[in-house]
Structure 1
């Protein structure tokens, strides 16, 4: 959840051997201070902010620059409110200027947020409200919301904050964006009426000064007095850690969808504001709860409702978590270029192949499951074959080659490197018999490779539980 991959076997052994009462807290602190956290959460936030990159391959050209910007902000421990302000107020070229500064590429920039939404005011309004405020106002785009309080005028008044932008020249998603006018008004389709920008709490404002209407929107959005911002953020972080939000879905705060634990939500939101919108503080607080430390094992019928958090939900790993965990387990050290997204027309890498294989447009971790075709493809892939070959696998060669180990020691090492636990008594007995008997080929070394292959392809390896 925090590092984006399974821990190395040496770290698992160290944790299991420790007896200090604060060992879990120290591991959490270690992860949150690591580059693994930065890399993992740059992907987590990119998926939340640019969901288009999950379904539209053409938008993936926007990923490198946006993730580079996220990594920069996460490395600097920039507050969540400051990150959101940068996204909302990102600099665009004034009318008549060439616009190179507003052309996204591989340089760190949040501009991709606007490009992925095709700079359409209605798309930006819907995405901003969902992502940062937890509100689905797009249902009021064509008519008053049928089930909530939002009116059509309120949707278009919010969208008016993003009026006056256009693409400059050719280039599709990579074309520069320029400000056409500081006059922010939009005509409501089919009505003949125009509206100016109004905050979702109904507050209007005077003429924009020193930065325009988007700056005024950012001021309101990240304000301590905004009733939506902090609650939506901590709820999204809770949903990341548990697979289920206190308000679920996380972007659907309505009167008909109240939080399962309102006091917890309000406490986290209050502390988030008090601590300067510090994401790591909230993640650290969530990781310290008894609810987060529970197993997914069901021990009582009352635990059937996962929204009560009496046990942990079983969640499918993301494609990135699957690949990075496989690489960790088999001792593969990918080159830096391997972290680039799969873009149409570019050569594939082992990482991009795994990401495409397990790509799932569902944003619900509790609904992610490996299909039969995905499992078969992973089982029979060159990556898995090399990883479980005694001659080509770094991990397997080390386990097989260390002198003085018993069969049980070698099997335990494979369990620790893949599942992060020691084998149960019955598992060890059965598998030791398999290895000592030479396995399917009469070769004890390859029998260990068979066990390694089975562990890497097991549901326990592919699920977060």
Structure 2
């Protein structure tokens, strides 16, 4: 009976896949970090979540469904914390337990599991850089960086600051990955749209060319003022070095020339004035609340932007982070779309969202604390399936049916492998890719010497460091991310756009049924 229950959990996670004998999955190293909190207790936060949700039920005459079964809870909480369903032994241990507090204890255990950071890293990495089929992609380096930070329970304000102020070389600082796309550095105007949307929840990108169509406070000038904070930021790729050297640096020459020219505007020729007029608004950094930077030094503008984004008085960033974390737990936000805060988009439970945002501030922006409190709520532990009468999705009166992310789907499939099969996959596709890259580098250098060329510089030490960084990734996680990149790269339309998620389009479904990886 227990085996049937566990097999059912896996079938639900993997869609219609024939099950082999289930083996225990290889486990990552035990987490060395236990999260701490200050302020109100987590139980108070959980109680407030339920109280605010219940207010809407009573107001709208909604009767929620009952609590989910242990089996349903077990599958749900595993997928939402560590990104995979439980193994047979894990399922039996939980289902056989008579401990009345076993659900809370399991939540604590899973959030302190190193796979929690991996799962959160998957969610956040894809917001800042696309999935890639390349085994040696920078996205994997950033995912590992995110995982480390989440497992240490680094405050999310610190994570935001590290990304917005990131500089140096990729091999030293994976937080620079969002500054690049398609093998080249992004423009500062693209970066500000990315950071504002995915780190603050404000979509300013459409104001680059014109005033926002329905937010009168977001004008083209507003966009230019925000973009100005990144004017001196340059993301570069040096292809004369192998492997290519990707780095971010601050260069104040351009902005300073515009500022100096503007100071003597009346003495300029007409063509020079035209140049100043074109760029002047991009050297006047102003935050969305209308506050100009308190310095004319472009070299510190980026740090000023980061400081403003995570300032105690900037409620917007915390509202967005709380909303994003809520959406990971519940499948949709308290405000939707999750990343589009604007005057016409109202939260379903504004008081709750504000409370969650304030709790972040009072508790060092701890994601572990916030997520634990959400998962321990009665709201999270409602039964799934059809919503009750009068209930909309935003009532959260039942747990929604949700698709798995690409990484969750593939990680679930990987549970079906025994240790030797998984080891071979890792050896062929992670270790093999690293060794092949090292071998090719040596061959290219030898060929250049033979031909008497001197154009490329070959950096074997950096290549080894990249290999070491990728080898730090737990094997199952690496394979899931690598395979997810392959499926995401499958075209979903005539424009050859990358699919943002594993949506089981016709192309993706055929690849699952017939693909070399899944077969």
TM-score (norm 2): 0.63
Secondary structure at 1:194 match in 2: helix
Q: Are 1:12 and 2:12 an aligned pair?
A: no
1:404 is aligned to: none
Deviation of the 1:233 alpha carbon: 0.3
How far apart in 1 are the matches of 2:153 and 2:112?
A: 10
Secondary structure at 1:177 match in 2: strand
> Which of residues 160, 174, 178 in structure 1 aligns to 2:249?
178
Q: What is the 5 A alignment of 1:314-463?
A: 314-332=401-419, 334-335=422-423, 351=480, 352-353=482-483, 355-357=485-487, 369-372=503-506, 374-380=508-514
1:225 is aligned to: 313
Deviation of the 1:74 alpha carbon: 2.4
2:341 is aligned to: 253
> Which of residues 303, 310, 329 in structure 1 aligns to 2:397?
310
How far apart in 1 are the matches of 2:205 and 2:367?
A: 27
Deviation of the 1:38 alpha carbon: 1.8
Deviation of the 1:377 alpha carbon: 4.0
How far apart in 2 are the matches of 1:167 and 1:242?
A: 36
Secondary structure at 2:154 match in 1: coil
Secondary structure at 2:234 match in 1: strand
**1:236–1:362 CA distance, 2 compared to 1 (3 A):** farther
Residues 326 and 334 of structure 2 are in contact (CA less than 8 Å); yes or no, is this contact kept in structure 1? yes
Q: Of the two structures, which has the highest relative contact order with CA contacts closer than 8 Å and spacing of 6 or more?
A: 2
Q: Are 1:38 and 2:114 an aligned pair?
A: no
Q: Aligned residue pairs: how many?
A: 365
Secondary structure at 2:175 match in 1: coil
Q: Which moved more, 1:373-382 or 1:284-293?
A: 373-382
**1:13–1:246 CA distance, 2 compared to 1 (3 A):** same
Deviation of the 1:369 alpha carbon: 4.1
Secondary structure at 1:160 match in 2: helix
Q: Are 1:159 and 2:289 an aligned pair?
A: no
Secondary structure at 1:260 match in 2: coil
Secondary structure at 1:311 match in 2: coil
Residues 164 and 306 of structure 2 are in contact (CA less than 8 Å); yes or no, is this contact kept in structure 1? yes
Residues 232 and 298 of structure 2 are in contact (CA less than 8 Å); yes or no, is this contact kept in structure 1? no
How far apart in 2 are the matches of 1:280 and 1:309?
A: 22
Deviation of the 1:78 alpha carbon: 1.1
How far apart in 1 are the matches of 2:292 and 2:432?
A: 42
Query: What is the Cα-based RMSD across aligned positions, in Å?
Result: 3.4
Q: Which moved more, 1:325-334 or 1:181-190?
A: 181-190
Residues 63 and 341 of structure 1 are in contact (CA less than 8 Å); yes or no, is this contact kept in structure 2? no
Q: Which moved more, 1:176-185 or 1:254-263?
A: 176-185
**1:314–1:177 CA distance, 2 compared to 1 (3 A):** same
Deviation of the 1:168 alpha carbon: 4.9
Gaps of 5+ in 1: 92-101, 386-465
Secondary structure at 1:127 match in 2: helix
Q: Are 1:110 and 2:153 an aligned pair?
A: no
Deviation of the 1:18 alpha carbon: 1.9
How far apart in 2 are the matches of 1:146 and 1:59?
A: 41
Residues 81 and 111 of structure 2 are in contact (CA less than 8 Å); yes or no, is this contact kept in structure 1? yes
Secondary structure at 2:218 match in 1: coil
How far apart in 2 are the matches of 1:374 and 1:126?
A: 30
Q: Are 1:83 and 2:159 an aligned pair?
A: yes
**Per-residue Cα deviation, 1:319-341 (whole angstroms, up to 9, x for no partner):** 21112111223435634565699
How far apart in 2 are the matches of 1:190 and 1:21?
A: 70
Residues 192 and 230 of structure 2 are in contact (CA less than 8 Å); yes or no, is this contact kept in structure 1? yes
1:235 is aligned to: 323
Deviation of the 1:281 alpha carbon: 0.8
**Per-residue Cα deviation, 1:310-362 (whole angstroms, up to 9, x for no partner):** 1122111122111211122343563456569999x989x97544652366856
Q: Are 1:61 and 2:127 an aligned pair?
A: no
How far apart in 1 are the matches of 2:359 and 2:430?
A: 35
Q: Are 1:130 and 2:197 an aligned pair?
A: yes
